[in-house]
Amino acid sequence: MSGKSTRVTTPVFTVSYPALFEAKTSFEGQPPSYHVTMMWHKDTDLSSMHEAIEQVAVKKWGKVPAKLQMPFRDGNEKLDDKGKVKPEYVDVIHARAKSMERPGVVDANVQQIMDPSEVYGGCKARASLNVYAWEFAGKKGVSFALNNLQKTGDGEAFGVSRTAEDDFDVV
């Protein structure tokens, strides 16, 4: 990636699917990685990220290719098993960042976070990323490599399993 990547710090986002303390496999056949899905409301100013994408594309290809695969996805297209938009993804733009090396994770006071339960789906954070261009199987795209993450605040947790004690009353 050296020479072909650009570093950027994201605006604050809502964390989803964090694997920051232990590498996990997202898709069968792929090696485990550290990763996070970043979710921003559609009104969030992502211009610094778009500028970095354009910069790496121009560095690699001399211009932004017409059919460049972008890292951003429309949350309204993220469907659950019943074909409905997942509630936490309504009106958001989301992107995934991953790394093969464990990222640094700090709190708002830049103190290292050691407890994985402190960074959960629904909390707020920002990330330091490398934006890089790639070419594979005739396709050209830009992706995000995760460097570090800073938790900036708490939020309403989602994707958390309920316990048996929560689901049942004493018989």
Q: In this structure, what CATH number is given to the domain that contains residue 48?
A: 2.40.50.140
Is residue 2 scored above 50 in pLDDT?
no
DSSP annotation of 89:
G
Number of domains into which the chain is organized: 1
pTM: 0.88
Structural domain of 144? 5-161
Q: Does a structural domain hold residue 87?
A: yes
Model confidence pLDDT, tens digit, residues 12-63: 999 999 999 999 997 788 899 999 999 999 999 999 999 999 999 999 999 9
Work out the pLDDT band at 8, boundaries 50, 70, 90.
very high
Distance CA 104, CA 90 (A): 29
The token pair at 52 is 């970095």
Query: Is position 72 within any domain?
Result: yes
Q: Please, what sign has the CA dihedral across residues 85, 86, 87, 88?
A: negative
Residue 169 falls within a domain, yes or no?
no
